[in-house]
Amino acid sequence: MSDNILKIRDLDVFAGETQVLRDVDLTIHPGEVHILLGPNGSGKSSLLQAIMGVPPFRVTKGDIRLNGRSICDLTPDQRAALGFGMAYQKPPEIDGVTLTALAHVMRADATFATEAAALDMADFAQREVNVGFSGGEIKRWEVLKLFLQNPQFLLFDEPESGVDLEHIAAVGAAIERLARSRTANGAKRAALVITHTGFILDYVKADTAHMMVDGRIIATGDPKEMFEQVKSNGYHAA
């Protein structure tokens, strides 16, 4: 039995002919929330999509393990079935499928009612998934969707960007609540959250932050200290 949920070892990833990640090592234990920060184009979203197995990202070296099991040979839906869930930056629209219909097929009607209220999305119940949603509404729905999906390992790609100040509190509180809760099987969850601003840290008690530059993790440390360091020194290892 593995004592970590996610273990990434010596990972190289390519998007087409472009190398986007180099020698990435990352270990996350049950109950932990980790933050990923770094400049534009440094590889943060690529890492999350490589974990989910989304094309065109290809692992060419190293390994990604969930609860000790290598997942590099699995499709995104197989990874989702195993326990990964991601709140995407740019999810697709699903014409003809309402939020309540989706919640119903996911057997999560009661969770939908509670969490839609918490994320101020009750009025969206009969809207089609992501159709005509504003940037901030997409972010709130992506977090709500994870409550319905109930994954053990949570990936959030800039969950607060484009969200107004009032709703950042709701999104942050929802992420904290979900990450600290247990799965339907009673297992502890864990999360990896990309943030540029660190606003989310006012609501999410993150354990560790990682700084990514040019596709490598160059520093790991306390989240709030790392943001202060970036503000004064830029994206450099201390």
Does the protein bind ligand ATP through residue 41 (CB under 6 A)?
yes
Cα(156)–Cα(33) distance, integer angstroms: 11
Does the protein bind ligand ATP through residue 234 (CB under 6 A)?
no
The distance of closest approach from Cβ of residue 56 to ligand ATP in the complex, given in angstroms and rounded to an integer, is 5
The residue with tokens 């943001």 is 227
Strand order in the sheet with 84-87: 84-87, 153-157, 190-194, 33-37, 208-213, 216-221
Peptide bond just before 76 cis, omega within 30 deg? no
C-beta closer to ligand ATP: residue 15 or 97: 15
The pattern of x and - marking residues 54 through 93 that bind ligand ATP according to CB under 6 A reads: --x-------------------------------------
Cα(85)–Cα(80) distance, integer angstroms: 6
Does the protein bind ligand ATP through residue 18 (CB under 6 A)?
yes
Q: Which one of residues 7, 42, 83, 172 is an interface residue with ligand ATP (CB under 6 A)?
A: 42
C-alpha neighbours within 13 Å on the C-beta side of residue 1: 3
**Residues sharing a CB contact under 8 Å with residue 40, sequence separation 6 or more, in sequence order:** none
Stretch that binds ligand ATP, among 23-31, 39-47, 68-76, 110-118 (CB under 6 A): 39-47
Cα(16)–Cα(167) distance, integer angstroms: 37
C-beta closer to ligand ATP: residue 146 or 217: 217
Does the protein bind ligand ATP through residue 20 (CB under 6 A)?
yes
The distance of closest approach from Cβ of residue 135 to ligand ATP in the complex, given in angstroms and rounded to an integer, is 14
The site for ligand ATP (CB under 6 A) is made up of 15-16, 18, 20, 38, 40-46, 56
